């Protein structure tokens, strides 16, 4: 029996021919009881991935394929899938089976319980190098500590998003997209389901260090202005050091005029104060930069998740999302 709602599964694919047949089979098995579409986004694969996808699309009209003209990257691929997904909820999942499709039903039931974002939390990572595990561990915690929004640690892009959240993400016009951060920014009711992150079923990682580095930079610069603020703190620290050192050096010079090399005091004091002044000036520019960056992103000022008793068509239509037991029973 098909469900009363429609689900979209978005799968970014870059040179995954070695694993795609398994992925497809496992997705079909898991999704059997749902009404769904599979949106494969081919991110400019150079192997036979696309012809395989085309073949499946010709046999099964639930398979939809978007092919990029070249490799644009994982985040743009996911964004395209979100854009064209028709579902009442959309699941993002990697093609390499590191995110087990069998977790999807748990995500769907959390969504049925009223959550808008259900992200997968990695309990364990199999088959990944120590260096990748450690950098990921440190990076997620660093990002969480500096970012302005609440990005859950140890969760990747494997997640379910309700239609309202997908609409918000689609409305965010920024070009450096970090979908996890954007989901966190959107707000709504969020929860996690934990799973064991499997080893890649076949093929190798399409995320070399270079791409990971860019993703991390996008994450930090899109969701934090903390690095700009550090400059200001640095300036204050240097100014403080300059003040103390100036007092000590001048005192030394006055009390024991011949104890220091000629000219050293004036040079030191000048260098310290100029350093503080320059850092301070950069810090001020940084503050303005932070505002410019915010303005240029053109994110919506706010997101309304529900509204009652308005008849404005741009507002979300709301059925009260109360658990059955709490529903108002006649009075009032």
- Tell me which residues touch Mg ion (CB under 5 A): 96, 98
Given the complex with Mg ion, which of 12 and 286 has the nearer CB atom? 12
CB of 86 to ligand UDP, least distance (A): 21
Given the complex with Mg ion, which of 43 and 96 has the nearer CB atom? 96
Q: Is residue 218 involved in binding ligand UDP (CB under 6 A)? A: no
Distance of alpha carbon 184 from alpha carbon 149, whole angstroms: 6
Q: Is residue 207 involved in binding ligand UDP (CB under 6 A)? A: yes
List 206, 220, 225, 231, residue binding ligand UDP (CB under 6 A) = 206
**Residue 213 CA, distance from chain mean position:** 14
Given the complex with ligand UDP, which of 15 and 147 has the nearer CB atom? 15
Q: Is residue 154 involved in binding ligand UDP (CB under 6 A)? A: no
Give the binding range for ligand UDP (CB under 6 A) out of 31-39, 73-81, 223-231, 277-285: 73-81
Given the complex with ligand UDP, which of 62 and 211 has the nearer CB atom? 211
Answer with the entry of Mg ion, ligand UDP, none that 115 interacts with (C-beta below 5 to 8 A by kind): none
CB of 325 to ligand UDP, least distance (A): 41
Task: Give, to the nearest 10 degrees, the angle between helix 209-223 and helix 130-146.
Answer: 10
How many chain residues bind ligand UDP (CB under 6 A)? 16
Strand order through the sheet with 63-67: 63-67, 35-42, 6-13, 89-92, 159-162, 117-125, 190-197
x/- track of binding to ligand UDP for residues 158-197 (CB under 6 A): ----------------------------------------
Given the complex with ligand UDP, which of 201 and 225 has the nearer CB atom? 201
* Residue 10 burial class via C-beta count within 10 angstroms: exposed 0-12, middle 13-18, buried 19 and up: buried
List 8, 98, 147, 265, residue binding ligand UDP (CB under 6 A) = 98
Residue 252 is encoded by which pair of tokens?
């030394």
Answer with the entry of Mg ion, ligand UDP, none that 206 interacts with (C-beta below 5 to 8 A by kind): ligand UDP
Q: Is residue 14 involved in binding ligand UDP (CB under 6 A)? A: yes
x/- track of binding to ligand UDP for residues 20-59 (CB under 6 A): -----------------------x----------------
As a whole number of Å, the end-to-end CA separation of the chain is 39
Residues near ligand UDP (CB under 6 A)? 12-14, 16, 43, 71, 73-74, 77, 94-96, 98, 205-207
């Amino acid at each position: 029996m098909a469900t009363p709602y429609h689900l979209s599964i978005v799968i970014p694919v870059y040179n995954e021919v070695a694993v795609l047949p398994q992925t497809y089979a496992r997705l079909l098995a898991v999704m059997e009881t749902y009404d769904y579409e599979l949106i494969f986004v081919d991110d400019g694969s150079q192997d036979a991935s696309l012809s395989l996808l085309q073949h499946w699309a010709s046999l099964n009209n639930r398979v939809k394929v978007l092919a990029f003209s070249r490799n644009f990257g994982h985040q743009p691929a996911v964004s395209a899938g979100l854009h064209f997904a028709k579902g009442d909820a959309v699941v993002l999942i990697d093609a390499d089976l590191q995110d087990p499709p069998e977790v999807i039903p748990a995500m769907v039931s959390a969504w049925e319980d009223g959550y808008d974002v259900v992200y997968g939390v990695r309990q364990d990572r199999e088959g990944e190098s120590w260096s990748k595990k450690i950098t990921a561990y440190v990076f997620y915690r660093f990002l969480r500590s500096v970012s302005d929004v609440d990005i859950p640690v140890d969760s990747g892009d494997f997640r379910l998003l309700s239609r309202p959240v997908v609409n918000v993400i689609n409305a965010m016009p920024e070009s450096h997209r970090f979908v996890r951060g954007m989901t966190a920014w959107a707000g709504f009711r969020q929860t996690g389901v934990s799973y064991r992150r499997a080893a890649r079923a076949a093929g190798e990682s399409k995320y070399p260090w270079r791409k990971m580095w860019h993703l991390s930079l996008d994450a930090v610069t899109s969701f934090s202005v903390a690095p700009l603020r550090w400059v200001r703190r640095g300036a204050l620290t240097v100014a403080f050091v300059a003040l103390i050192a100036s007092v000590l050096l001048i005192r030394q010079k006055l009390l024991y005029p011949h104890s220091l090399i000629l000219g050293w005091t004036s040079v030191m004091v000048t260098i310290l104060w100029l350093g503080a002044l320059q850092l301070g000036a950069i810090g001020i520019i940084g503050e303005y930069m932070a505002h410019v960056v915010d303005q240029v992103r053109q994110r919506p000022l706010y997101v309304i998740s529900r509204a009652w008793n308005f008849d404005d068509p741009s507002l979300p239509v709301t059925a009260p999302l109360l658990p059955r037991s709490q529903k108002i029973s006649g009075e009032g």
